[in-house]
Chain A
Amino acid sequence: MDFSDRFSIPPHDDPMLYASIVAIVLTSIAIVVGVTYFKKWGYLWNNWLTTVDHKRIGIMYIISALLMLFRGGADAVMMRLQTAVPDNTFLDAQHYNEVFTTHGVVMIFFMAMAFIIGMMNFVVPLQIGARDVAFPRLNALSFWLYFTGAMLLNLSFVVGGSPDAGWTNYYPMAGPEFSQHVGVNYYNWALQISGIGTLMTGINFIATIIKMRAPGMKLMKMPIFIWAALITNLMIVLAFPVLTIALLMGTLDRQFLTNFFTTSDGGMDMMWANLFWVWGHPEVYILIIPAFGIYSTIIAAFSERNLYGYTSMVASILAISALSFLVWVHHFFTMGQGALTNSIFSITTMLIAVPTGIKIFNWLLTMWKGKIRFATPMLYSIAFIPLFTIGGSTGVMLGMASADYQYHNTLFLVAHFHNVIIPGVVFAMIAGLIFYWPKMFGFMLNERIGKWAFWNITIGFCLAFFPMYFTGLNGQARRMYTYSEATGFSTLSMISFIGTLLLAVGFVFLVYNIFYSYRHAPRNIGGDPWNARTLEWATHSPVPEYNFAISPTVHSEEAFWDYKENDYELFKGKVEDIHMPNNSGWSIIFAGFFFAFGFFFIFHVWVGVIIAFLGIIGCLIYRSFEKDDGHHIHKEEIEATEKELGGAK
């Protein structure tokens, strides 16, 4: 296959594709023209694109995650529309394959991962009383590598064709024989590049949390979200290299015709599944543990109580992280590895329910006798508990190896993992976003519209996914693009489609809320609009560049609460010059070379690969020789800012 065959715009002859290409081009032109017209290029470059500020990087992560949520959500609506009625012809089989593949990839890698990393970026340094992360420049690079990966994957839609072998990308389906266009190459390189960014984030945050906590914040005095972040990043650092190697082997197979995952010459297609899930299972916990951290924070804040069972919470996070590396085989119980192996992994899988159960009880007991305020973040947290418990219980069902032969690759499984990921991760991220919105932007989101969004999303979720448990048990396989009338799946599938629409309406409310509140919400909300408990609320909203004028001193995991209620002195000492890192365009340029490298590699354009590679090396050499010692914000400047924002805190 030569270059012109691979490089096809658009990949299929389909009016919808043409329409979306036109839409993409028009939107891009509109953005460029708009930024030029309002003369915002300088602002954009100086304040956002070159920033090393953890808060801005966090916000950029979250904005990208929201964009990807809509991209992946559109895929979801298309899938449910296609399966809403039997024998539908809205999408053909190939197109359906591409849609469910991109839906999964976008949602896991570019929505959920970006959302949790964005949340950690914004919250972690504030909550430990630090001025930034350990390696601010590396943090910017992480973001831009992630963004590069996301753009690369989305480009596949327009140039060459999207990946079509499922988000799990199993071989031999993903191999060069059965997936001939460049889609899976895109998959390999987009994930490879954003995975490098994620690994760097992991290293960065572990170093930050180990070394940069406020004085007095011992390990067992860290807020629970910090524990969650620490363990999450530990898992990132140990899990992502596995994906790196697996993707490398996949690339070699597809682009250099090796025999890692083929079915001849000693190749083993199931080895991909094995390696993918060695990474993939910890990945699931990488997503859920920060979500647990956010729920713990929110539930404590809105129950006006300290978190029940702090020590057991920490212990169960540790237990989950250790077990998460010991269960991966439960994703392919049906491979044929025999009863002994399946039993071992079945037991480790079911063990995970124990620490998770402990956490559920801790949240319930935190609310017990608390003064509960039903603000939107709290509503999501309360809805999370029963919904996640259902998702967890079906997970235990799937974890029983012999029963799994019945559930495997049916919609029962699809219902299960959406049932843990949507109420688990997505609800947490929305709740966290609403909770931290005033800290990010200095105004609150409207509660009434927020509740509309909440009810649409929650009811929509239940309608969309609960029917799949039933059709799944009745034998409806996942990833089938259509079914016949005789199967009897049509009523439940239609309900599921209606639920999807409700979910979509909920997300529209969410966005409308941002727009509405931006115009109508009052500013001057003070540093602590929710009457919350942890350090990030001790500074102004929005947070000044240097976070805290004076570094806080801490004596418990809820130092700010003690400061408010028990006359604890949080800010000892006086304002001094603050050392801050410099902004730099290096990260975005470096990521640009990575984009070129990935793109040319996908299309086997070796000259381009070599040039981009030299660019990458050049950037590394430049960085090695660069001397950048940051700058100081002077005392007078800080005092002036503090005065303007309403007095030193």
Chain B
Amino acid sequence: MKLDPKNLPLEYSTETNKLNILGFWIFLSAEIMLFATLFTTYFVYVDRGVGSGPAGAEIFELPPVLIETFLLLTSSFTIGLAVHAMRINRVKAMIWFMVVTLLLGAGFLSVEVYEFIHYYHIGATLQTSGFTAALLTTLGTHGAHVTMGLFWGIMIIIQILRDGLNARTANKSFIFSLYWHFLDVMWIFIFSFIYLKGMM
């Protein structure tokens, strides 16, 4: 699935655009290490860092986690559709897909906030133990990324509405889609190795 070099889509149309996309991929590998560090910490603390606090199996609940997973997976699908719409030059559809993506992201965040409040109520706070600190920092870092993505997405939608689709806005949208897919990938790992493994 290579692009035809004579007929590149808008987001690849200038040298700056190509550099931006490559630069963002490099940034994503830094993000891989960022989350890998969080996972490292979590895996160590889940084993040795529980202390007198609760263990994972005692605090995790499946329903909110499933809802979160479904919302984020779907939003990753819709942002993919937005990029596809952009490439066939359907600006209106693209904006709608982006709006849906951000709404799904907001839905994900609200469930996560509910989850955090729940942890707080059952006495699993940031200060409880090494394990809870590692858990909440990992989830929190992911959540902060999603929050950041929401604001970023809104900025891009405003710019597309203002300027239409051009080399600049298309480039920004494509890079935003990379970011959003990446967050979904990270969530898959959180879902599998923090929640499911914890509840096994």
A and B touch in the complex (CB under 8 A): yes
Which residues does A use to contact B, with CB under 8 Å?
134-135, 199, 202-204, 206-207, 210-211, 237-242, 244-246, 248-249, 252, 256-260, 262, 264-268, 271, 275, 278, 617, 621, 624-625, 627
Report if B26 contacts A (CB, 8 A).
yes
Q: Are A248 and B53 in contact (CB under 8 A)?
A: no
Residues of B23-44 contacting chain A, CB below 8 A: 23, 26-27, 29-31, 33-34, 37-38, 40-41, 44
CA distance A265 to B125 in the complex (A): 12
CA distance A31 to B19 in the complex (A): 40
Q: Are A268 and B137 in contact (CB under 8 A)?
A: no
Q: Are B129 and A624 in contact (CB under 8 A)?
A: no
CA distance A624 to B22 in the complex (A): 18
Q: Are B38 and A245 in contact (CB under 8 A)?
A: yes
Report if B48 contacts A (CB, 8 A).
yes
Chain A nearest CB, measured from B163 CB (Å) = 9
Chain B nearest CB, measured from A78 CB (Å) = 35
Q: Please tell me which one of the listed residues B50, B134, B159 contacts residue A624 in the complex, with CB atoms under 8 A apart.
A: B159
Chain B nearest CB, measured from A322 CB (Å) = 15
Report if B7 contacts A (CB, 8 A).
no
Q: Are A207 and B22 in contact (CB under 8 A)?
A: yes
Q: Are B19 and A211 in contact (CB under 8 A)?
A: yes
Chain B nearest CB, measured from A387 CB (Å) = 33
CA distance A267 to B132 in the complex (A): 10
CA distance A260 to B126 in the complex (A): 10
- What are 17 residue pairs bridging A and B, where the CB atoms are less than 8 Å apart in the complex? A135-B23, A206-B26, A207-B19, A207-B26, A211-B18, A237-B30, A239-B33, A242-B33, A245-B141, A259-B127, A266-B50, A266-B51, A267-B51, A278-B37, A624-B155, A624-B159, A624-B172
> In the assembled complex, which residues on chain A have CB atoms less than 8 Å from the CB atom of B18?
211
Residues of B127-153 contacting chain A, CB below 8 A: 127-131, 133-134, 137, 141, 151-152
> In the assembled complex, which residues on chain A have CB atoms less than 8 Å from the CB atom of B172?
624
Q: Please tell me which one of the listed residues A206, A258, A624 contacts residue B133 in the complex, with CB atoms under 8 A apart.
A: A258
Report if B96 contacts A (CB, 8 A).
no
Report if B56 contacts A (CB, 8 A).
no
**Number of A-B residue pairs having CB atoms within 8 Å of each other in the complex:** 117
CA distance A248 to B33 in the complex (A): 14
**Contact A203-B30, Cβ < 8 Å, known A266-B53, A267-B130:** yes
The 7 closest A-B pairs by CB, nearest first: A266-B51, A266-B130, A266-B49, A241-B34, A266-B129, A265-B51, A245-B37
- Beyond the given A202-B30, A203-B26, A256-B126, please list 9 additional residue pairs across the A-B interface where CB-CB is below 8 A: A237-B33, A241-B37, A242-B34, A245-B37, A252-B133, A266-B52, A271-B44, A275-B40, A624-B155
> In the assembled complex, which residues on chain A have CB atoms less than 8 Å from the CB atom of B33?
237-239, 241-242
Q: Are B30 and A199 in contact (CB under 8 A)?
A: yes
Q: Are B45 and A268 in contact (CB under 8 A)?
A: yes
> In the assembled complex, which residues on chain A have CB atoms less than 8 Å from the CB atom of B130?
259-260, 262, 265-268
**Contact A204-B23, Cβ < 8 Å, known A266-B53, A266-B131, A621-B155:** yes
Chain A nearest CB, measured from B88 CB (Å) = 26
Chain A nearest CB, measured from B162 CB (Å) = 9
Chain A nearest CB, measured from B158 CB (Å) = 8
> In the assembled complex, which residues on chain B have CB atoms less than 8 Å from the CB atom of A237?
26-27, 29-30, 33
> In the assembled complex, which residues on chain B have CB atoms less than 8 Å from the CB atom of A199?
30
Report if B118 contacts A (CB, 8 A).
no
Q: Are A268 and B19 in contact (CB under 8 A)?
A: no
CA distance A246 to B141 in the complex (A): 13
Report if B168 contacts A (CB, 8 A).
yes
Q: Is the interface of B mostly helix, strand, loop or mixed?
A: helix
CA distance A275 to B37 in the complex (A): 8
CA distance A271 to B133 in the complex (A): 13
Q: Please tell me which one of the listed residues A238, A246, A267, A625 contacts residue B159 in the complex, with CB atoms under 8 A apart.
A: A625
Chain A nearest CB, measured from B169 CB (Å) = 11
> In the assembled complex, which residues on chain B have CB atoms less than 8 Å from the CB atom of A203?
23, 26-27, 30
Q: Are A268 and B44 in contact (CB under 8 A)?
A: yes
Q: Please tell me which one of the listed residues A210, A240, A252, A278 contacts residue B137 in the complex, with CB atoms under 8 A apart.
A: A252
Closest residue of chain A to B38 (Cβ to Cβ) is A245
Q: Are B23 and A207 in contact (CB under 8 A)?
A: yes
Q: Are A252 and B19 in contact (CB under 8 A)?
A: no
CA distance A266 to B55 in the complex (A): 11
CA distance A624 to B51 in the complex (A): 45
Chain A nearest CB, measured from B55 CB (Å) = 10
Q: Are B22 and A260 in contact (CB under 8 A)?
A: no
CA distance A620 to B74 in the complex (A): 28
Chain A nearest CB, measured from B98 CB (Å) = 15
Residues of B103-139 contacting chain A, CB below 8 A: 126-131, 133-134, 137
Closest residue of chain A to B126 (Cβ to Cβ) is A258
Q: Are B45 and A266 in contact (CB under 8 A)?
A: yes
Instruction: Pick the most buried of B18, B26, B50: most chain A CB atoms within 10 A of its CB.
Output: B26
> In the assembled complex, which residues on chain A have CB atoms less than 8 Å from the CB atom of B53?
265-266
Q: Are A265 and B128 in contact (CB under 8 A)?
A: yes
**Contact A245-B48, Cβ < 8 Å, known A134-B19, A238-B33, A265-B130:** no
> In the assembled complex, which residues on chain A have CB atoms less than 8 Å from the CB atom of B133?
249, 252, 258-260
CA distance A216 to B74 in the complex (A): 45
Q: Are A238 and B29 in contact (CB under 8 A)?
A: yes
Q: Are B30 and A241 in contact (CB under 8 A)?
A: yes
Q: Are A210 and B49 in contact (CB under 8 A)?
A: no
CA distance A241 to B137 in the complex (A): 15
Q: Are A241 and B26 in contact (CB under 8 A)?
A: no
Instruction: Pick the most buried of B29, B41, B130: most chain A CB atoms within 10 A of its CB.
Output: B130
Closest residue of chain A to B158 (Cβ to Cβ) is A625
> In the assembled complex, which residues on chain A have CB atoms less than 8 Å from the CB atom of B51?
259, 264-267
CA distance A245 to B33 in the complex (A): 10
> In the assembled complex, which residues on chain A have CB atoms less than 8 Å from the CB atom of B131?
266
Q: Are B49 and A267 in contact (CB under 8 A)?
A: yes
CA distance A267 to B129 in the complex (A): 7
CA distance A241 to B32 in the complex (A): 9
Chain B nearest CB, measured from A369 CB (Å) = 41
**Contact A257-B49, Cβ < 8 Å, known A207-B26, A240-B30, A245-B38:** no
Q: Please tell me which one of the listed residues B29, B129, B141 contacts residue A265 in the complex, with CB atoms under 8 A apart.
A: B129
Residues of B56-104 contacting chain A, CB below 8 A: none
Instruction: Pick the most buried of B37, B45, B50: most chain A CB atoms within 10 A of its CB.
Output: B37
> In the assembled complex, which residues on chain A have CB atoms less than 8 Å from the CB atom of B50?
266
Chain A nearest CB, measured from B148 CB (Å) = 9
Q: Please tell me which one of the listed residues B29, B52, B127, B137 contacts residue A249 in the complex, with CB atoms under 8 A apart.
A: B137
> In the assembled complex, which residues on chain B have CB atoms less than 8 Å from the CB atom of A202?
26, 30
Closest residue of chain B to A325 (Cβ to Cβ) is B33
Q: Are B41 and A249 in contact (CB under 8 A)?
A: yes
CA distance A135 to B27 in the complex (A): 13
Q: Please tell me which one of the listed residues B27, B37, B137, B156 contacts residue A242 in the complex, with CB atoms under 8 A apart.
A: B37
CA distance A79 to B39 in the complex (A): 40
> In the assembled complex, which residues on chain B have CB atoms less than 8 Å from the CB atom of A621?
155
> In the assembled complex, which residues on chain B have CB atoms less than 8 Å from the CB atom of A240?
30
CA distance A387 to B127 in the complex (A): 49
> In the assembled complex, which residues on chain B have CB atoms less than 8 Å from the CB atom of A210?
22
Closest residue of chain B to A211 (Cβ to Cβ) is B19
Q: Are A245 and B134 in contact (CB under 8 A)?
A: no
Chain A nearest CB, measured from B100 CB (Å) = 22
Q: Are A134 and B126 in contact (CB under 8 A)?
A: no
> In the assembled complex, which residues on chain A have CB atoms less than 8 Å from the CB atom of B40?
275, 278
